[in-house]
Amino acid sequence: MGLSRRNLLIAGGLTIGLSACSVTGDGTADDGSGKVEVFSWWAGPGEKEGLEALVADFRQRNPGIEFDNAAVAGGAGTIARTVLATRLENNDPPDSYQVHAGLELDSDIEAGYVEDIRYLYDQQHWRDRLPKGLVEALTFDGKIYSVPVNIHRANLLWHNPALLKARGLTPPTSWAQFLTQAATLKAAGILPLSIGPAWTQKHLLECVLLGELGADGYTGLWNGTTDWKAAATQEALALFVRVLDQSDIATAAGDWQPALDKVVAGTAAYNVMGDWADAYLRTKGLVFQEGYSVAASPGSDKVYDFLSDSFTLPKGAPRRRAAEQWLIECGSVSGQDAFNPQKGSVPARLDADKAKYTGYLALAIAEWTDSATRVVGSLTHGVVAGTVRSAAVDAALALFVQDRDTMKFAAAAGG
């Protein structure tokens, strides 16, 4: 069942400072090189600016530690995770690596690749400064393996306000309304919906399912309370096919940024993407509500389909103490307030400085902290499905966009 924001929030606390040296969990020593290698997928426009701001704050607080940026670009982390898997399998871990909060980490935990870092949570009092529901998403059998640095929202529909205004349109509040608009847009020679590679199609799928099934029905797909073969689910999947038909999937963009560029250029009306799009659009010199705007994806108003970027302490990290200092930075107020305004996300902490969040982010942080907001977890970005099930959905979706067989897809995706 989706949770209300009221059930997720707990009282915040005071800000914390960074110590010059932290205590290791198992007493082991690192190589003392004064360097930390951090593996992430933050290499594209909008993402790298956030990382650079976080690293600048880290360097200021840890002047004796050199930051080694091991970012790998592309595919919202899909390419990076392939590279990382090889390194972990070969016992060559970085000092810390990025992962989405939630079940995405389950296979690494099972393989013994990451350490339980509850001792850092105790040391830094993070349980008192993070939403209860987020801590629960990070907890596996009572243990915690990563530190969240932000909160993103996945269920968003980006558009060019001038284009819509010129045609007397407003963002659709249902997918049926989107289909009606699509006919009008096509007649005017405008692409209704731009799309990118396979993971963006999966992202669109989760937004259609959320909009059609509602928060409870969508969440039930992942906890077993919603039947994939039921009429409502089948109808939602059939609708997804119709939505996809209004896109440029035959010539899909290589990544999410060029797909979004079509909206900015006015050749496409809409693009479904998470709120990291805001940071990217700002790097192009655009102003929110003028050069671009956003609404909840159709049918999902007042629902926050969340994901969170977090960082781990791998077992066998070559520079353990430096890795701990990096994790403390990621969990700090100063680190999160440096990172998130640049990245286009809101802080995971409850005690961050809200005054630093303007434009779209002011709306986002207000909705995230609104007790009336329903919260669900993202499929595409690792919250509600582990790596094995997520891979099964990926394989099934690749076939589904070709054969359009809703029942066959349901059988494969149902887990």
Stretch 53-82: mean pLDDT: 90
Residue 10 pLDDT > 50, yes or no?
Answer: no
Q: Residue 126, SS3? A: helix
Q: Could you report the per-residue pLDDT of 293-303, keeping only the tens digit for each? A: 999 999 999 99
Band (19; pLDDT cuts 50, 70, 90): very low
Residues 273 and 306 sit within 8 Å (Cβ to Cβ):
no
Q: Residue 88, SS3? A: helix
Rounded CA-CA distance 132/120 in Å is: 17
CA 311 to chain centre: 13
What is the pTM for the complete model shown?
A: 0.85
pLDDT value at residue 26: 44
Residue identified by tokens 């107020």 is 333
Residue 9 pLDDT > 50, yes or no?
Answer: no
Residue 170 pLDDT > 90, yes or no?
Answer: yes
Q: How many CA atoms lie within 13 A of 40 on its CB side?
A: 24
Residue identified by tokens 């996300």 is 345
* Percent of the chain's residues with pLDDT above 70: 91
Structure-block tokens of residue 371 = 């007790």
pLDDT value at residue 75: 62
Structure-block tokens of residue 204 = 């669109």
Band (371; pLDDT cuts 50, 70, 90): confident
Residue 30 pLDDT > 60, yes or no?
Answer: no
Bridge partners, 37 (sequence order): 68
Rounded CA-CA distance 311/221 in Å is: 27
Q: Could you report the per-residue pLDDT of 351-367, keeping only the tens digit for each? A: 999 999 999 999 999 99
